[in-house]
Amino acid sequence: KVREERAEMTHPGLPPHEISATPLGRAAALPDGSVKPNRQIHDGQYRAALPGLLVRSEGDPNTGIADADTAYDAAGEVFSLFAEEYGRDSLDGDGMPLIATVHHRRDYNNAFWDGRQMAYGTGDGRLFRTFLELSVVGHEMAHGVIQYSGGLIYENQSGALNESIADVFGSLTLQRALGQQAHEADWLVGRGILGPGINGQALRSMKAPGTAYSDNLLGQDPQPWHMDHFVTTPEDNGGVHINSGIPNHAFYLFASYLGGNAWEAPGRIWYHALQSLNNPMATFLDWADQTIQSANELTGNGSTEAVMLRRAWKLVGIAI
Ligand code: ASN
Ligand code: ZN
């Protein structure tokens, strides 16, 4: 149940100005250029050791190592989203360096946040061709933001929420960099990173979960978009990369109903909900409740945003 009276309360973890009734939380954003990233890009030299060789620090010119320069630019876009739209200074909210390693291991088919830094494989050239794609970089860095926002335990529903929120901010990073409104975006995560051996267009689709790829090697994209098809499995930490399709699709529906730039009202509501959640074991229902509460706080009870958001959650089978 959404407790409407919470809209009047002061959240203990945030200064009062950040939870004021300012429409869409605009005042909480840091002005363009008022904070700067501190990027430190390393070359893993195809070995497993992290972080590897420092090749580009903040302000340094291009290295000529294409992956290192791509990682530098992408980290700048993600930093800019969180700083300029949501008022957050880096992943920890306190200016921490953005440490990344490219060329992590040989033929490595993944990218990750290890609790302290980002690491990107090159892919083996068959299943994956790269991991340096903006929505993927945004996804990995969002895991850092989630960690420093109280965390979401990486298994079952809380883990799928961790994955979904990472996909949301990954996709928003890309949409903002491209200047695409909700209806113009493809809502794909990892578009173009699949190799020639895989039949598919991306790693995941928020618009149509379950349709990103269909392949003999990887199988069919296993993501559901409705609670009726929630997957119970011991694999993948309880299906964290599978059931994330459900909250992903709710965000897509919400942003699409509203129209305009998804990183604005919808992104601010998701970001504010993440800051307010205070429950590392949150279920989908807990998160849906928190996002609606955030919409009520940022845009007002009964606002278009709050009404559309409730409708989006209901459409994926989460009724609140
Ligand atoms: N690329 C994956 C992710 O960020 C790595 C993992 O399974 N943790 O979700
Ligand atoms: Zn992830």
Q: Tokens for 87?
A: 């008022």
The list of the chain residues with pLDDT below 70 reads 1-28
Three-state SS sequence of 89-149 = CCCCCCCCCEEEEECCCCCCCCEEECCCCEEECCCCCCCECCCCCHHHHHHHHHHHHHHCC
Query: What are 101's strand-pairing partners?
Result: 42, 119
The per-residue pLDDT for range 197-229, each reduced to its tens digit, is 899 999 999 999 999 999 998 999 999 999 999
Q: Is 26 inside a domain boundary?
A: yes
Domains: count for the chain = 1
Q: What is the pLDDT of residue 227?
A: 99
- Expressed as residue numbers, the domain containing 281 is 4-315
Is residue 183 among the annotated active site residues? Answer: no
> What does the pLDDT look like over 124-178, one tens digit per residue?
999 999 999 999 999 999 999 999 999 999 999 999 999 999 999 999 999 999 9
Q: Which residue has the tokens 């845009």?
A: 299
* Domain-located, residue 250: yes
Strands 98-102 and 214-215: unpaired
- Catalytic annotation on 42? no
Q: What is the pLDDT of residue 28?
A: 63
Inside any domain, residue 64: yes
Count Cα atoms within 13 angstroms, Cβ side, for 244. Answer: 28
Alpha-carbon distance 295 to 196, whole Å?
A: 42
Residue 162's pLDDT is what?
99
The alpha carbon of 302 and the centre of ligand 2 are apart by a number of angstroms equal to 33
Residue 320 lies in a domain: no
Instruction: Read off the amino acid at residue 53.
Output: L
Q: Say if residues 282 and 157 touch (Cβ distance below 8 Å).
A: yes
Residue nearest ligand 1's atom 6 by CA: 112
Residue 239: its pLDDT value, please?
98
Atom of ligand 1 nearest to the CA of 111: 1
Instruction: Say which of 84, 140, 163, 305 is annotated catalytic.
Output: 140
Tell me which residues have their CB closer than 6 angstroms to ligand 1: 110-112, 139-140, 143, 163
- 117 within a domain of the structure (yes/no): yes
- Minimum-distance ligand 1 atom for the alpha carbon of 131: 1
CATH of the domain at 177: 1.10.390.10
Give the integer Cα–Cα distance in Å for 103 and 124. Answer: 11
**What ligand 1 atom has the least distance to the C-alpha of 154?**
8
What spacing in Å lies between the alpha carbon of 87 and ligand 2's midpoint?
Answer: 23
ipTM of the complex: 0.94
Within a domain: residue 278? yes
Answer yes or no: are the C-beta atoms of 38 and 58 closer than 8 Å.
Answer: yes
Is 151 part of any domain? yes
In a domain, 55, yes or no: yes
Q: How many residues does the chain have?
A: 320
The residue whose CA is least distant from atom 8 of ligand 1 is: 112
Compute, in angstroms, the gap from residue 241 CA to the centroid of ligand 2: 7
**Cβ within 8 Å of residue 196, ≥6 positions away:** 125, 126, 129
- The CA-atom distances, in angstroms, between 175 and each of 102, 169, 277 are 23, 10, 25
